[in-house]
Amino acid sequence: MGMNSDFDTTIQRIRKHISRTETYNLIYQKKYNWNMLCVSLDTLEHTEEMIRYFRESDFPEDMRGKFLAIYGLLQALFVQQDALVNANAALELPEIKISTDFPDLHSIREIRNDVAGHPTNRGDRKKPERCTYIQLAREGLSKFSFKYVVWNNEIKMEMMDVDIMKNLDNQHEAVTKALNNISEALDGKFKEYIDAHRERKMIDIFAQYGYVREKLLSEPLDGSRSVWDASLFAVEEIIEKIKSELDQRYGSWEKFEPYTYTLREADELYLLLSTRETDLPEDIRYRLMRCAAESLCQRLDTLKEYSIETDNYFETYDDLFTSPIGEEPTEPIAVIIDEETICPGKE
């Protein structure tokens, strides 16, 4: 059970990484990478479930079931290796070379290619004299081992023995190790990302906001229009600084909720307040401006709260690299605004 737990825990940690807004935005810039990654992670889990089922279930007594079990198992092992390589490639990590990085996986791959991949014509088809032909032996076919015969064109025969459980153990160990390498690489990239933005505090954008807010709500009804205009200009600067900071951290402020809708509403209110031309009587116009100014300040108050949450997220994320899964600091609530995509979580 512990062996399965290692695999499941590592997959879960990788899913947590790609579910983060900043990681998702980076991968999703190349949608084919995102799609390949999500399908690869699902396939890794599906094939692992198949392998576990083989381990836990009774082996068929009927020869037809025995053949199906062996061919199916070998194909599951092969597909799982492909899913591992493609998940790694989708994340643009250093290439996994099965033949050199994981010799045990390569051996399993060769057995699959012999028995379930190309048994009727194995080798270079342009040079048929070098081809071999493989036959799965009926005798001794069991849950724990099987034999297969390799023939060549000179009718020379070689009998191959396969220890199934040893190969299953080798595959599990190698795949789990590779997934851990992926998880650690993502940890490293994410720590670099956090460190790159940690020192810039979004709350600093609101350093003068208290004064600006006071003037925006009291003017121009009670004072000078020039002071009110200056306050409105300061609000525009605050909004633009928030957008710029979100662009640096998340790729685009327009794809990071909860900020997105609040910023759009703030933009609309700012535009309304900065428009001077109107046919309304002055007293009505000023009342409308006061209502709009109050609404704008409410949006800015909300943006200030979001900024505090974002700062806290970046300040406390050192715990990510020492805490068990599920105990990380709370990430700011975020939803990507885009067309429907494959969900990074388990089906």
Cβ proximity of 22 and 334 under 8 Å = no
Cβ proximity of 273 and 48 under 8 Å = no
**Which two structure tokens, joined as six digits, stand for 45?**
């889990």
Say whether 256 sits in a helix, a strand or coil: coil
Going residue by residue through the chain, which has 347 residues, state the pLDDT in tens, using 9 for 90 and above: 455 669 999 999 999 888 887 777 777 778 899 999 999 999 999 999 999 999 999 999 999 999 999 999 999 999 999 999 999 999 999 999 999 999 999 999 999 999 999 888 887 766 777 788 999 999 999 999 999 999 887 777 889 999 999 999 999 999 999 999 999 999 888 888 889 999 999 999 999 999 999 988 886 555 567 888 889 999 999 999 999 999 998 888 987 878 999 999 999 999 888 876 556 566 677 778 888 899 999 999 999 999 999 999 888 876 555 444 444 544 544 434 444 444 455 54
- CA pair distance 200, 222, nearest whole angstrom: 37
Q: Residue 338: phi, psi to the nearest 5? A: -165, 180
